[in-house]
């Protein structure tokens, strides 16, 4: 029986198949309607055509299986994860330092700038989180 993810549901394969289904569902929720996989999530075929990604930020092309036509997204590569982590730490650190320096200056006119810097710092921390997840759980992010 196939569920809404297009991947076989739990059955003869047992708990391992159920865990894989949960990871696919979680990945689909994160990136939209396409699975994150190294090979076709529907038929397992590795032969795929590269197509332009629909996402704003993508480190590579999406894939369309030549066998069944299923579109999927390759996982974040290790170098991409490291770039996310480094840029995230730089952005979060610079924004955090800037906020501390503005607080020490005591100028109340710096509050709007601190709000923007705080937002950018959070974006940096989210980049670190994504890069760390991509390194710790390759193939799912």
What one-character-per-residue DSSP string does 9-72 give? -SSTTTHHHHHHHHHHHHHHHHHSSSEE-SS-TTT----EEEE--SSSS-SS-EEEETTT--EE
Does 50 have pLDDT greater than 60?
yes
Using the predicted structure, report yes or no on whether residue 125 has a pLDDT greater than 60.
yes
Higher pLDDT, 57 or 22: 57
Mean of the pLDDT values across residues 85-93? 96
Confidence of residue 11 (pLDDT cuts 50, 70, 90): very low
pTM over 0.75: no
Sequence ranges of the domains in the chain: 15-73, 78-136
Say yes or no to pLDDT of 18 above 70. no
Q: What percent of the chain shows pLDDT beyond 90?
A: 32
- What is the SS3 assignment for 128? helix
Q: Tens digit of pLDDT for each residue in 57-76?
A: 777 888 999 889 889 888 88
- Look at residues 60, 53, 57 and name the one whose alpha carbon lies nearest to residue 75: 60
């Amino acid at each position: 029986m196939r569920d809404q993810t297009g991947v076989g549901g739990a059955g003869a394969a047992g708990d391992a198949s159920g865990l894989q289904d949960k990871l696919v569902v979680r990945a689909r929720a994160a990136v939209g309607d396409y699975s994150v996989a190294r090979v076709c999530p529907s038929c397992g075929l590795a032969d795929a055509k590269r197509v332009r990604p629909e996402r704003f930020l993508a480190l590579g092309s999406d894939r369309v299986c030549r066998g069944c036509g299923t579109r999927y997204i390759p996982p974040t590569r290790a170098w991409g994860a490291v770039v996310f982590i480094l840029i995230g730490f730089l952005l979060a650190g610079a924004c955090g330092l800037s906020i501390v320096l503005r607080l020490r200056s005591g100028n109340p006119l710096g509050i709007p700038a601190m709000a923007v810097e705080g937002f950018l710092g959070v974006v940096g921390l989210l980049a670190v989180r994504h890069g760390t997840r991509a390194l710790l759980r390759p193939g799912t992010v």
